[in-house]
């Protein structure tokens, strides 16, 4: 087994210094650096600035996200402060070096490691920046190359959810289950290759006509090093997670349909022997009311996972978002995960966990946003020992 390890987590002040240094380098380097905001709906860039940004082969982005939460019920009452620092570098190799059809991406991530779920007792995770481990990580590092006019490949450290099982209308919600479905998120020895730990991967994307994209990927089955969770570990020979997805956009509707399977076998829950972990999902979204942007959008998702080796075998979610002007967006959503037969054999189970979420995102200026959030967790962790939980939070985001 080949392995490269990177330094253990540094203190937050060091992370801030690194981020500032990177940002200053990006500003002062001669004509090699640029920036553009990742979410154009939230951050406005002047037209004359866009041309200047597009002219640079390397673009740097920095963001800081802070959550303050208070939990009532669940495992116990209490408060938590979570934070997340992202620094990304997007490189156009064709513009920088003349390497046609190539680009690269580097993503450094820091989290303070606080856990809200130890208070709520939930399985689906209320905050999508929770990690439970304080760490500075190399999160993504990949190279992408066009192999034809309609196909490209991507190789390196890769977040599966950056392309697979991802919908635009669900990205306002803080609940982790609205990012990637619980049917996939629960799997593997150390989770699949998603936030906050990723693995080596190879991904192929093919455009079939104007409205259909096919994606296929093979990823190392065990991201990071479960024995040293704060380290960035790059390993091979752990087996693979194989996934395929069809992304179809017939008119105003977008439909994702995917299937996945691990080559490894896992211990069965509540029964002797081993079994395969595999599943399927379907997800869709559409805009019901359109102005300059989508005013009213809706989405839904359904997924299944093998219940013999996974604690949840069925996952369902749905939600709606409403945009008021350029700076205000409302959202309401629900997610439901059914405990598998194997999980029920292992312990006393409430049968399922359900979470209702409502949130308002307000862009205060080009660089700062706030987002109050309330979530009601029924049967946290599908565990009869926990009371229902009500979680109230506020998110502040700063981006450059």
Which pLDDT does position 348 carry in this prediction? 66
pLDDT of residue 24: 39
- Name all contacts of 317-325 with Cβ < 8 Å and 24+ positions apart: 317/170, 317/177, 317/178, 317/181, 319/169, 319/170, 319/173, 319/178, 319/357, 320/169, 320/296, 321/169, 321/172, 321/294, 321/296, 321/297, 322/295, 322/296, 323/293, 323/294, 323/295, 323/296
Band of residue 346 on the pLDDT scale cut at 50, 70, 90: confident
288-314 average pLDDT score: 94
Maximum separation of any 2 CA atoms in the chain, in Å:
65
pLDDT at 354: 98
Confidence of residue 8 (pLDDT cuts 50, 70, 90): very low
Q: In this predicted structure, what is the pLDDT of residue 345?
A: 79
Q: Report helix, strand or coil for 348.
A: coil
Cβ neighbors of 352 (< 8 A, separation 6 or more) are 336, 337, 338, 339, 379, 382
Mean pLDDT score, 172-191: 96
How sure is the predictor about 317, in pLDDT bands with cuts at 50, 70 and 90?
very high
Give yes or no for residue 330 having a pLDDT over 60. Answer: yes
The CA distance from 283 to 298, in Å, is 11
**Predicted pLDDT at 11:** 42
Mean pLDDT of 236-254: 92
Integer Cα distance of 299 and 297 in angstroms:
7
54 pLDDT tier (thresholds 50, 70, 90): low
pLDDT in tens, 148-161: 999 999 999 999 99
> Is residue 71 predicted with pLDDT exceeding 70?
yes
HEC profile for 104-131?
Answer: EEEEEEEECCCCCHHHHCCCCCCCCCCC
Q: Return the SS3 of 228.
A: coil
Task: Work out the burial of residue 292: count CB atoms within 10 Å of its CB; fewer than 13 is exposed, 13-18 middle, 19 or more buried.
Answer: exposed
Contacts of 307 (CB under 8 A, 6+ apart): 269, 313, 340, 341, 342, 343
pLDDT value of residue 236: 79
pTM equals 0.85
For the segment 201-205, the average pLDDT, to the nearest whole number, is: 98
Peptide bond into 371 cis (omega under 30): no
Q: What would the DSSP string read from start to end of 41-76?
A: TT----HHHHHHHHT-SEEEEEEEEEEEEEEEETT-
State what percent of residues in the chain have pLDDT above 70. 86
Beta strands in the chain (DSSP E): 3-5, 33-34, 58-73, 78-92, 102-111, 135-146, 151-158, 199-207, 212-220, 233-235, 240-248, 253-267, 274-290, 294-305, 312-324, 328-339, 352-363, 368-378, 389-399
Q: Rounded to whole angstroms, how far apart are CA atoms 16 and 19?
A: 5
Q: How far apart are CA 3 and CA 224, in angstroms?
A: 10
Q: Degrees (nearest 5) of the Cα angle 390, 391, 395? A: 160
CA distance 117 to 133: 12
User: How much of the chain, in percent, has pLDDT values that exceed 90?
Assistant: 76
pLDDT band with cut points at 50, 70 and 90 for residue 343: confident
Structure confidence at residue 232 (pLDDT) = 84
Report whether 274 contacts 266 (CB < 8 A): yes
Band of pLDDT at residue 133, cut at 50, 70 and 90: very high
List of residues 6+ apart from 379 with CB closer than 8 A: 350, 351, 352, 353, 354, 386, 388
What is the structure's pLDDT at 235? 79
Q: Over 60: is that where the pLDDT of 46 sits?
A: no
């Amino acid at each position: 087994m080949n392995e490269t390890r990177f330094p253990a987590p540094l203190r937050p002040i060091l992370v801030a210094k690194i981020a500032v240094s990177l940002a200053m380098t990006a500003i002062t380097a001669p004509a090699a650096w640029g920036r553009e905001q990742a979410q154009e709906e939230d951050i406005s860039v002047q037209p004359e600035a866009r041309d200047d940004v597009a002219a640079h082969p390397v673009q740097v982005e920095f963001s800081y996200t802070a959550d303050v939460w208070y939990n009532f019920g669940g495992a116990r009452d209490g408060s938590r402060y979570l934070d997340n620092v992202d620094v990304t570098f997007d490189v156009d190799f064709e513009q920088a070096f003349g390497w046609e059809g190539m680009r690269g991406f580097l993503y450094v991530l820091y989290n303070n490691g606080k856990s809200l779920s130890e208070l709520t007792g939930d399985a689906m995770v209320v905050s999508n920046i929770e990690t439970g481990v304080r760490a500075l990580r190399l999160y993504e590092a990949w190279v992408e190359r066009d192999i034809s006019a309609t196909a490209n490949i991507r190789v390196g450290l890769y977040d599966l959810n950056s392309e697979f099982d991802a919908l635009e209308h669900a990205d306002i919600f803080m609940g982790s289950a609205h990012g990637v479905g619980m049917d996939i998120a629960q799997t593997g020895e150390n989770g699949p290759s998603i936030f906050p730990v990723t693995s080596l991967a190879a991904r192929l994307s093919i455009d079939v006509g104007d409205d259909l994209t096919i994606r296929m990927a093979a990823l190392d089955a065990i991201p990071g090093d479960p024995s040293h969770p704060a380290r960035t570990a790059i390993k091979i020979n752990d087996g693979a997670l194989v996934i395929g997805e069809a992304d179809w956009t017939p008119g105003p509707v977008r439909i994702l349909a995917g299937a996945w399977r691990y080559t490894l076998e896992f211990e069965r829950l509540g029964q002797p022997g081993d079994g395969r972990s595999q599943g399927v999902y379907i997800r869709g979204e559409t805009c019901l009311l359109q102005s300059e942007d989508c005013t009213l959008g809706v989405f839904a998702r359904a997924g299944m996972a093998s219940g013999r080796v996974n604690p949840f075998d069925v996952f369902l979610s749905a939600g709606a978002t409403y945009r008021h002007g350029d700076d205000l967006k409302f959202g309401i959503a629900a997610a439901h995960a059914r405990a598998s037969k194997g999980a029920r054999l292992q312990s006393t189970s409430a049968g399922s966990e359900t979470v209702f979420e409502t949130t308002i995102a307000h862009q205060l200026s080009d660089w700062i946003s706030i987002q109050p959030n309330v979530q009601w967790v029924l049967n946290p962790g599908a565990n009869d020992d926990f009371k229902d939980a009500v979680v109230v939070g506020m998110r502040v985001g700063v981006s450059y």
